Amino acid sequence: MKTGIKIVLSIALFSSLSFSNEQFAMSDADRAMYAEMSENNPADIMVADGEELLDYMGGDEGLAKYLGVTEDELPAYIAGFPRYIKKFDMVVGLDQVIQAMMHDTGKKPFKLKSGNMFSLLAYVKSIANGEKINIDVNANAQMKAAYTLGKKTFMTKRGGRGLGCISCHSSDVVGSVLRTQPLPDLGAKGVASAATWPAYRMTKSSLRTLQRRFQGCMKNALIKVIPLGSPEMVALEVYLTAEAKGSKIAIPGLKR
């Protein structure tokens, strides 16, 4: 990986693990494994794979040109996603930009849920490591609408159980243990913020994106799963990224 790109510090990774002395319901052996992986994240090699994949499309320089910014401007620009892109006339995530770039350079786009896309997305977002999330939900009418839809999606309870994102992440339940893990705060000070996704998930032994994690939550709650890249899913990412605004990006993260 290029010098200067990877600024992920072990302390940043370790802080993303949601440890709680009072409530973290895991064994000492599991804690030790987390600590070890915070020093040597298995996803590092996947991020390196993503860099190689981007090289086939012109690398960082090609991506910057596609986005209409300079290479020097690229890290801060990436830190503002999801964002409205005029040539697409819609609010999109970085993975959708990658798909469009692949198509426009004559390559078959990776599916949003593919391992190659996860690696590519992780590398592209890692370009912004050390930058603070600077998403601007007031930039235009499209971003305002996306934030509103994202908040509604987060707050809405669905399905026979009447569950939604808010069910596990409201202020009155944050820190409670569910399936051996404290329920995290997803706000600006939250340890599971958008700043540390894509991340390596220990329980899945694989790299996952924030939207893919949303899907996992929905599946576990037995509610209808929102498709990756759909307006509702992108809006949900907009909302939670806005809640984490100001957090330093540190990719890849490490999660249970």
Residues 223-256 pLDDT 10s:
999 999 999 999 999 999 998 999 999 999 988 7
pTM listed for this prediction = 0.81
| Mean pLDDT of the region 60-82 | 98
The structure tokens listed for 149 are 């839809």
**Poorest-pLDDT segment among 164-173, 193-202, 209-218:** 164-173
Query: Taking Cα atoms as reference points, which of 183, 85, 187 lies closest to residue 142?
Result: 85
Integer-rounded Cα Rg, in Å, for the chain is: 18
Of the given ranges (36-45, 92-101, 121-130, 189-198), which has the lowest mean pLDDT? 189-198
Say if residue 51's pLDDT is above 50: yes
> Binning pLDDT at 50, 70 and 90, where does residue 30 land?
low
Task: Give me the pLDDT at residue 19, please.
Answer: 37
Say which residue, 151 or 179, is predicted with more confidence. Answer: 151
Give percent of the chain with pLDDT exceeding 90.
61
Angle, helix 115-126 to helix 94-104, in steps of 10 degrees:
110
At residue 66, does pLDDT exceed 70? yes
Tokens of 159: 């399905």
| pLDDT one-digit tens code per residue, 6-25 | 333 333 333 333 433 333 45
Segment 91-142, tens digit of pLDDT: 999 999 999 999 999 999 999 999 999 999 999 999 999 999 999 999 999 9
Give the number of other Cβ atoms within 10 Å of residue 52's Cβ: 13
CATH number at residue 137: 1.10.760.10
For the chain, how many structural domains are there in total?
Answer: 1
Handedness of CA 107, 52, 251, 135 (dihedral sign): negative
Q: What average pLDDT does the segment 30-54 reach?
A: 79
148 has pLDDT over 90: yes
What does the alpha-carbon distance between residue 61 and residue 84 come to, in Å, rounded to a whole number? 21
Give the pairing of strands 199-201 and 253-255. parallel
Q: Residue 137: what pLDDT?
A: 97
Q: 193 versus 80: which is more confidently predicted? A: 80
Residue 208's domain comprises: 1-256
Question: Is the predicted pLDDT of residue 188 greater than 80, yes or no?
Answer: no
Secondary structure element (H or E) that encloses residue 210, with its range: helix 210-220
- Reading the block at residue 65, the tokens are 């040109």
State the chain's mean pLDDT as an integer. Answer: 83
Question: What is d(CA 183, CA 169) in angstroms, rounded to the nearest whole number?
Answer: 7
pLDDT of residue 22: 37
Task: Give the start-end residues of each E strand in 114-224.
Answer: 177-178, 181-182, 199-201, 206-208
d(CA 214, CA 210): 6
